[in-house]
Chain A
Amino acid sequence: MLDRKDYRTLLAKSHSLIALLLMVLVFSLLADGFLSRDNFWTVMRQISVNLCR
């Protein structure tokens, strides 16, 4: 069983992942076409170049 401190540690370690999921959720609700297959590959292409630097 996780205690409060464990939860805080878990939260601290995964704040980037939580932020990403929140952003995906918000943009999915607000932007038409955000969750499309084409946009998924557009983002993947963009981060491919970013990860090479």
Chain B
Amino acid sequence: MTLVILTGGIDLSVGSILALSGAIMAGLLKRGTELEALNLYIGYGAPAAIVVGLLVGASLGWFNGLMVTRFRVPPFIATLAMLTIARGLTKLYTGGEAITGLGQVFVSIGSGRLLGIPNQFWIAAGIVLVAVVLLRKTRFGRYVYAVGGNEEAATLSGLNVARVKRSVYVIAGTLAAVGGLIVTSRLNSATPIAGEGMELDSIAAVVIGGTSLSGGRGSVAGTVLGALIIGVLNSGLVIMGVDPFWQQVIKGCVILVAVVIDRLNYKE
């Protein structure tokens, strides 16, 4: 999400892509693929199911990028449409019911531990590390900032803006699928409502972390900080027994305050 917002875009579909990718991984593991015309059944092991799920995420991200770059659909609208499409497809694929019992190999990805630390933490740490290197040390990272900072100047200086934008949406879709893998394997179940509303937490983490919604300014480190703030806030409020409705109000206020402070700092 940070990369997408750095280019001046937004991706509202990550929660739905998470759900669809997770459901496809679970469905392939549990039911495989039946080609009735050929009287053929294909079973999948965990690695194959994961690869297909990740490819689905990447493809939907690519489609988002295509809508934004080729057909000039505003990112908000393109990804809002994808939010609905992917959620509908998830419900169609799962028949509105959870797919459970996914096998020990798959489940160990989300619920296992390495050196006493949950696997999903290692996965997230790896992604953060790669994203930091990508943004700070590579030409692609500089292109991302350039596109978000001033798209016209980036175009005039010969940058393939459309390719950069498509790439960040593909990355966002793929990472949403990784989120789907983590959630599905941790719960040992793919539910059609997985990831609902999660896109808002994700956007909130990026914004609280100081990334400008108009693009060109921000960092992955800031997003990690933003995610920590959201996580601590969620956890603290739950432990204190604050009414869930009030939790939403408080979270909204924190996001608002963070954005106002960021705006004031930027003006100065």
A positions within 8 Å CB-CB of B: 8, 12, 15-17, 19-20, 23-24, 26-27, 30-34, 39, 41-53
CB under 8 Å from chain A, chain B span 214-268: 222-236, 239-240, 258, 261, 265, 268
Question: Contacting chain A: which of B41-49, B66-74, B147-155, B195-203?
Answer: B195-203
Name the contact of B230 in the complex, choosing from A44, A48, A50, A52 (C-beta under 8 A): A50
A52 and B235 in contact, given A15-B261, A41-B118, A47-B227 (Cβ under 8 angstroms): no
A49 and B236 in contact, given A15-B261, A16-B222 (Cβ under 8 angstroms): no
Closest to B175 in A: A52
Chain B 170-213 per-residue mask, 1 if CB under 8 angstroms from chain A, else 0: 00100110110011001000000000001101100100111000
Name the contact of A47 in the complex, choosing from B210, B231, B239, B258 (C-beta under 8 A): B231
A23 touching B175 by the CB < 8 A rule? no
Chain B positions within 8 Å of A50 at CB level: 198, 201-202, 205, 227, 230-231
Chain A positions within 8 Å of B208 at CB level: 16
Any A CB within 8 A of the CB of B14? yes
Give the secondary structure class of A's interface.
helix
Bound together, the chains give a CA A42 to CA B264 distance in angstroms of 33
B175 touching A12 by the CB < 8 A rule? no
Best-buried of A27, A42, A44, A48 by chain B (most CB within 10 Å) = A48
Bound together, the chains give a CA A43 to CA B234 distance in angstroms of 8
Q: Count contacts between A and B, CB distance < 8 Å.
A: 113
Bound together, the chains give a CA A33 to CA B210 distance in angstroms of 30
A53 and B265 in contact, given A16-B222, A47-B228 (Cβ under 8 angstroms): no
A53 touching B14 by the CB < 8 A rule? yes
Chain B positions within 8 Å of A41 at CB level: 118, 121
Bound together, the chains give a CA A39 to CA B233 distance in angstroms of 12
A49 touching B182 by the CB < 8 A rule? yes
A27 touching B239 by the CB < 8 A rule? yes
A42 touching B235 by the CB < 8 A rule? yes
Any A CB within 8 A of the CB of B1? yes
Best-buried of B118, B209, B223, B231 by chain A (most CB within 10 Å) = B231
